[in-house]
Chain A
């Protein structure tokens, strides 16, 4: 293989999130130990907690200068549609990395937000796929 890579992208999370108003969010995949709704937001906001990991292993990503500028992690979100044709009700998605209160741990939780149009928080009708990478900067 030709060596195009400047850095390895280390996948630390992959899975599918589905959510219903009754059952709440469910994560099927690897790398996440728990998922719940963000307190105060009954739809369209999900708090994912990374696996605890081992010492020096994934489970948290190194902290950046602030939770909003963490340079060491990348996420890819793909909405799954529902119905025929399978159209998603989501038009805007955002991701935030939540810094652990324990000094030096880094971000060990991820908030994913999904909004419909007009912009309002809503659960994706077919769920969404998520992949999180740890990157070296």
Chain B
């Protein structure tokens, strides 16, 4: 495969967010430990990433105190993503209005990082085209707004940061000289 990529993009979490019959949000997927409503407004959800078991596991960020990776202090992790590299995709599933329409227009993801911890939570806000906060479905059933919300999260720089290529060959013989 041609090497187009500057850095690997690593998937870390995916889920389908639905609303249960009691009106509470729930997630079906992997990489998230919980979801709650972030405010009294509908369509406002706070998703928490899995905590992970070590600095090299799910939900983890870079190595603690590794200069140049995250904050200016060089501190990121052990359980958060570097805020510079969080990438989010949100898609609304169509609802009960044929042929599968949704009136949700605004799909916003916001992240807040904690010094020394990184990003462990993603706040998602949904609203209609008239900027009215809206859940992506009804309580336990699809409605005219939709039938749920898909979310995927990537780490946008899963590889070594600014890695230096080691070039060896006739034009690059700094490491070894032949007679």
- Which residues of A come within 8 Å of B, CB atoms? 1-9, 38, 40-41, 45, 68-69, 71, 74-77, 91-96, 111, 113, 115, 117-119, 121, 133, 135-137
* Nearest-CB residue, chain B, relative to A91: B105
User: Does the CB pair A74–B94 fall under 8 Å?
Assistant: no
Residue among A8, A95, A135 making CB contact with B94, cutoff 8 Å: A95
When distances are taken between beta carbons in the complex, the residues of chain B under 8 Å from A117 are 105, 129
Q: Knowing A6-B30, A137-B28 touch, does A74 contact B148 (C-beta < 8 A)? A: no
* Stretch from B38-46, B108-116, B150-158, B169-177 contacting the other chain: B150-158
Contact partner of B91 among A3, A76, A115, A119, CB < 8 A?
A76
Residue pairs across A and B with Cβ atoms less than 8 A apart, 14 shown, are A2-B158, A6-B58, A7-B30, A8-B11, A9-B11, A9-B152, A69-B16, A69-B148, A71-B28, A93-B102, A96-B147, A113-B94, A113-B101, A117-B105
Q: Considering the chains assembled together, what is the distance between the CA atoms of A6 and B56 in angstroms?
A: 12
A75 vs B77: C-alpha distance in the bound complex, in angstroms? 30
Contact of A115 among B16, B95, B101 (CB under 8 A): B101
In the complex, B99 has a CB within 8 A of chain A: yes
Of A2, A5, A95, A118, which is within 8 A of B92 by CB? A95
Q: Chain A interface secondary structure, helix, strand, loop or mixed?
A: loop
Q: Is A74 within 8 A of B158, CB to CB?
A: no
Evaluate contact between A2 and B31: CB separation under 8 angstroms: no
Binary contact readout B46-60 vs A (1 if CB under 8 angstroms, 0 otherwise): 000010000011111
- Name B11's closest neighbour in chain A (CB-CB): A9
Q: In the bound complex, do residue B147 and residue A136 qualify as a contact, i.e. CB atoms below 8 Å apart?
A: no
Q: Which residues of B contact A (CB under 8 A)?
A: 8, 10-14, 16, 18, 28-31, 50, 56-60, 89, 91-95, 98-105, 129, 142, 146-148, 150, 152, 155, 158-159
Q: How far is the CA of A121 from the CA of B152 in the complex (A)?
A: 26
The answer to whether B31 and A6 touch across the interface, beta carbons within 8 angstroms, is yes
Residues of B within 8 A of A9 (CB): 11, 14, 152
The reply to whether B150 and A75 contact each other, CB–CB distance below 8 Å, is yes
Instruction: Report the 9 A-B pairs with minimum CB-CB distance, sorted nearest first.
Output: A94-B94, A96-B100, A94-B102, A68-B147, A6-B31, A6-B30, A96-B94, A4-B12, A38-B99
Taking a contact as CB atoms under 8 Å apart, the answer to whether A7 and B14 are in contact is yes
Are the CB atoms of A71 and B102 closer together than 8 Å?
no
Tell me whether A68 and B148 are in contact in the complex, defined as CB-CB below 8 angstroms, given that A7-B14, A95-B94 are known contacts. Answer: yes
Q: A68-B93, A111-B94, A113-B100 are in contact. Are A5 and B10 (CB under 8 A)?
A: yes
Report the separation of the CA atoms of residues A117 and B103 in the bound assembly, to the nearest whole angstrom.
10
Task: Please judge, given known A-B contacts A69-B148, A71-B28, whether A4 and B155 are in contact too, CB under 8 Å.
Answer: yes
Closest residue of chain A to B92, judged by CB? Answer: A94
